[in-house]
Amino acid sequence: MDWKNRLRHWYTHHKRDLPWRATNDPYKIWVSEIILQQTRVSQGLDYYYRFIDKYPDIQSLAETDEDSLMRVWQGLGYYSRARNMHRAAGQVVRDHGGRFPADMDSIRSLKGVGEYTSAAIASMAFNMPCPVIDGNVLRFITRLYAIADPVHKSTTRAAIKRILDEHMDIQDPGLFNQALMEFGALHCKHARPECHTCPFQDDCLAFLTGRVPMFPVKAPKAPKRNRHFNYVVLLKKNNEGIWSLIRKRDQQDIWKGLYEFPMCETKAPAGLDRILESGLITFDDADCRPIYESHAFRHLLTHQVILARFFVLQLKEMPPLTNAWKAVNLKSLGTYAFPRLIDRFLEEELQEIEKKIK
């Protein structure tokens, strides 16, 4: 079955106008591919524009500080992607004189760049015949050939790579790869694929046998675990405004490098008394006035569900600060990168809280 010409024809007439398709700059292609990992194009497009505006080249990315980078990335999630990009930019500046490497081994050596991303960069920026295999490609190829083996297996992916190698457009591998991914994203979709207008109807074994919803075959998903985060928002008012305590998360856990209020994790929902008994932070009870308790905020991640509540206390005096904590004015909270969960709390409830402060 030779289908690459049909794929090219479909792509020519249906492709989206996306900025990274109008360049062969490996830096911009790399940025787009990292952003689009775990992120839909509709969400990632604005982030791409903001990122390129802030960091137009790899030198500017290498020279930025992590806090500034996290602020630009805030809301995209999977923050290790941004930290890895920062380290990779440093590698390029240090080891390659600031020029993005043009050979596969060097591209693969960059922090956070795996098989898929390296193939995308190599084909689109340097015209190397390297097939890309992402979720959209897996879905299309497993349906086209009715591949019943689970796609998480290395043998399955190797078989799909052999198919793609066989059909690769040697003259324009970048266009071939983009067409594959675009067809999976727009036409051979996960839900409601457009089989009735598919140019591969006569060859698609899944369609011909009435089994399209069965592909791709995936491993069973592990159940998500619940985690209970209890934030204590400490506020103190003086002539200069309202102040709070925040710190940067530095443990090997979600949201590393982002800021948060004092937080105590519990195995089940807990009240304020239980949180304060944990020794999370110490202060004179006589100086403390509870002024607000939020509803439970629910935040979904890939393998876990965060259930968070915010307990807001007004203090006459802040507790002694250690190196981990910093006192910040509420008006400047917007300059710090918080997890989206905390941003939602601030957006929805901060104004109401400020009204309760005496």
Q: Please name which of 240, 231, 229, 244 lies closest in space to residue 315, comparing C-alpha atoms.
A: 244
Examine the residue annotation and report whether 354 is marked as an active-site residue of this protein: no
Q: Please name which of 156, 160, 166 lies closest in space to residue 129, comparing C-alpha atoms.
A: 166
Amino acid occupying residue 285: D
CA distance linking residue 11 with residue 150, whole number of Å: 28
Prior bond of 216 cis (ω within 30°): yes
Q: Please name which of 330, 337, 348, 321 lies closest in space to residue 233, comparing C-alpha atoms.
A: 330
Backbone angles phi, psi at 310, to 5 degrees: -120, 125
Q: What share of the chain is helix, strand, coil (3-state, %, to 5)?
A: 45, 15, 40
Structure tokens at 38: 């775990």
- Give CA torsion, residues 28, 34, 38, 43, to 10 deg: -30
In the numeric block, the tokens 């405004």 are attached to 241
* Contact (CB, 8 A) for 243 and 235: yes
Q: Is 136 helix (H, G, I), strand (E, B) or coil?
A: helix
In the numeric block, the tokens 């490497």 are attached to 101
Backbone angles phi, psi at 127, to 5 degrees: 60, 30
Q: Is 245 exposed, middle or buried (0-12, 13-18, 19+ CB in 10 A)?
A: buried
Residue 256, number of CB atoms within 10 A of its CB: 14
* Contact (CB, 8 A) for 313 and 223: no
Q: Please name which of 105, 35, 29 lies closest in space to residue 76, comparing C-alpha atoms.
A: 35
In the numeric block, the tokens 């910093």 are attached to 326
Radius of gyration of the chain (CA): 25
Q: Which residues are catalytic?
A: 33
